[in-house]
Amino acid sequence: MTIMPEFTPTNWMLENQSKKGKEPWEIYSECVREAMIRHGEFETENHRIRDKLAYEDMMCATKDTATIDG
């Protein structure tokens, strides 16, 4: 098992990886996710958490519709 070092966001990361999200926390979380997938030998699953939560709300009848990928 690989133990990863502490992952701290930097201004460089937030500026150069801005295509990964709109908010700083989104960019940071995607960078951490990619590092965990790469070094933990996990499979990639590309559905955004917002889409998963919207789908879950619809399936649990909390909401009538779900907007996925947009």
pLDDT for 1-57, tens place per residue? 668 888 899 999 999 999 999 999 999 999 998 888 888 888 887 778 888 888 889
pLDDT at 25: 93
Question: Of 70 and 3, which is predicted with more confidence?
Answer: 3
> Does residue 33 lie in a domain region?
yes
The DSSP code for 3 is P
Question: Of 35 and 69, which is predicted with more confidence?
Answer: 35
> Does residue 67 lie in a domain region?
no
CA dist., res. 5 & res. 55, Å (int): 34
> Does residue 49 lie in a domain region?
yes
Q: What range defines the domain where residue 46 resides?
A: 11-59
Name the domain count of the chain: 1
> Does residue 27 lie in a domain region?
yes
> Does residue 6 lie in a domain region?
no
> Does residue 69 lie in a domain region?
no
DSSP 17-64: TGGG-SSHHHHHHHHHHHHHHHHHTPPP----HHHHHHHHHHHTTSSS
pLDDT at 13: 92
